[in-house]
Structure 1
Amino acid sequence: MNWDIIQGKWKQLKGSAKEKWGELTDDELDQIDGDKDRLAGKLQEKYGWTKADADRQIDDYFRDK
C-alpha cells in the first residue's frame, strides 16, 4: 500500500498496529501519526531492531492494509 494512504488512514490503522506491536503505547502511536520513519524509530527503540529490520516489518505488515 502507498504510504500516503496509510498516513491518511492512520487513525483507523493504529489499532491494528497496536495489536501487531503491543510494546507501542497509545501516546506513541498518536505521536507517530502515520509517519513511517517515526514508526520505524519507535520499533527500533522498543524491540532493538535495526532500521532495515523495522522497515521490513512495517512493509510486510502494511502491504495488505
Structure 2
Amino acid sequence: MRCPLPIIELARRIDDVEVGALVTVVADDPAAASDVPAWCRMRGHGYTGPGDDVEGAPSYVVRRRH
C-alpha cells in the first residue's frame, strides 16, 4: 500500500486486536518507515521495529498499548 493508506488502515484496525497484541503493517511506500513510528508516538502505541518482508514489501510492527 502507498501512503497514506497504511496509516489509515492501521488506525482503522488497531482496535480489532487486544491490548498488548501486535499488528504488522505491510507497505511498499518508503514514507511508511517514518510514518508508522510517528503515528505510534502520536497515538500512544508502541512501534517495535521493522518486521520481515512480505512478498518483497517491508513491514512494520506495532504493539497496541491501550
TM-score with structure 1 length normalisation? 0.31
**Normalized per residue, which structure has more helix?**
1
Structure holding more strand per residue: 2
TM-score in terms of structure 2 length: 0.30
